[in-house]
Amino acid sequence: MAAGFPGNPRHRLALILVDVNRSFFDTDGPFHYPGALENLGPLHQLLDAARAGGRLVVHAREAHRRGFHDYERPKLPEHSYLGDRDQEPYPGFEEQPGEVVIHKRRFSAFFATDLALLLQEQGVERVIIAGVKTNVCIRASVQDAFAYGFRPTVARGSVSSNRPHLHEASLEDIQRYIGEVVDLDVAIGWLRNEGPRSGVEKRGENQGPRSGVEKRGENERPRD
């Protein structure tokens, strides 16, 4: 953060929750899959930690306009119209005062929204991105976060997909090329800022074992 920056220094680290809405998490939602429910506990832990730590919290939710053509179709069925039940936040993940809601119409939380501008103006350096699905909206949001110059991080257990092989492949790509994949307790510690090594200044700090993600040396470059 630049000297004299007027923003909140606690906002150097932000939590971005992606599509934590009824569409995916209600058992009768149009995009529900059983594995999504396993993410609710970790997502609650991240959100609680971010709030306790005074971090910037962003809720990025898909939102479409009824009655207008949408380029997502015919790839996806009609869903998440503003004001409809499936577009609502899943209970327990409603925004609180001081938290930001971003309405997105594409997979990435950054595309055609003011999210990057918002984060830049708040002096954000690292973003922890959590929600669904790993190989679609999470992967797209992580890649755009990297492209905008932020340090994207994904906590294990806080993302999933109905296609497990693509979930694992996406985590491997993120770790190898784009950002970091860390254990849940590491991300919680960063958000709460607990302990002597809980800062976000050093890349890879407090990173736990990379189960399911390829390991490589600190200075090793990707070969492909």
**Residue 188 main-chain phi, psi, to 5 deg:** -60, -45
Active-site entry in 15, 47, 115, 137: 137
Q: CA-CA distance, 141 to 129, in Å (whole number)?
A: 8
Alpha helices (H) along the chain: 22-25, 40-52, 115-121, 139-147, 164-173, 184-192
Is 17 among the catalytic positions?
no
Give Cβ neighbours of residue 61 (< 8 Å, ≥ 6 apart): 19, 20, 21, 80, 87, 89, 101, 102, 103, 104
Q: Among all residues, which ones are annotated catalytic?
A: 137
